[in-house]
Amino acid sequence: MANLNEAIVRKDLMESLQEIPEETKKFMDDIQAVFKKRFPNSRCAVKFSNQLGGSIGIWFYLAKDESEVTNRIMLNDACRHIFICHDIDENGNLADKLSFDRIAGSGITRQIHKDDPDETYLAYSSIRVPYRKVTGTKEAVLKNFERYVDKLAQIALDNADDINNGIVNNLFDVRDKIASN
């Protein structure tokens, strides 16, 4: 049953993707390119949806697919982030000003530091990556995502060993996911 529902949702997304204006398709491609520039070996999906109104969703994972996450569950990714924009009409036309919210993910999951008394009771810890809702033109939104992705990449590199030996369990090396700036 879940596979049938997933197939229906994918079919709806593909149909809606074909119907949206070229300007919106290009904007979505530009967003994906921002993530892929710094994280070429990770998963990033940008999709238009017309469920209760038009929206663009961005799903970013450090892993490239289910084979690189614990128990093959993408929710177990060390760096799962989801962003959403509702400033789009049901036909996929972009508003003059767009705003994106981060609705899931606040940072990067890492192993605990056993010498830190505040973490001894935890299974995992995390490194916060601040994000502020951005509102503005397409160009302003893209610039904001570029800064955010650069910050996310740098924090991941700075903490690669804690991420590799923690949540990633040596399924891949974080450094292999991140391209130099």
Give the model confidence (pLDDT) of 43-94 as tens digits: 999 999 888 788 999 999 999 999 888 888 898 888 899 999 989 988 889 9
For the stretch 138-141, contacts whose Cβ atoms lie closer than 8 Å and that sit 24 or more positions apart, written own/partner, are 138/27, 138/30, 138/94, 138/98, 141/31, 141/85, 141/98, 141/100
Q: What's the whole-model pTM score?
A: 0.82
Task: Kindly list the domain boundaries of the chain, sorted by start residue.
Answer: 2-177
Residue with tokens 């010498």: 115
Q: Residue 164's pLDDT band (boundaries 50, 70, 90)? A: confident
3-12, 46-55, 163-172: segment of lowest average pLDDT: 3-12
Give the model confidence (pLDDT) of 103-155 as tens digits: 998 888 887 778 888 888 877 778 899 998 889 999 999 999 999 999 999 99
CA distance 130 to 119: 21
Residue with tokens 């490194």: 127
Q: Which of 139, 105, 126 is nearest to 31 (CA)?
A: 139
CA 3 to chain centre: 23
Return all residues near 91 (Cβ < 8 A) that are at least 6 apart.
19, 20, 21, 54
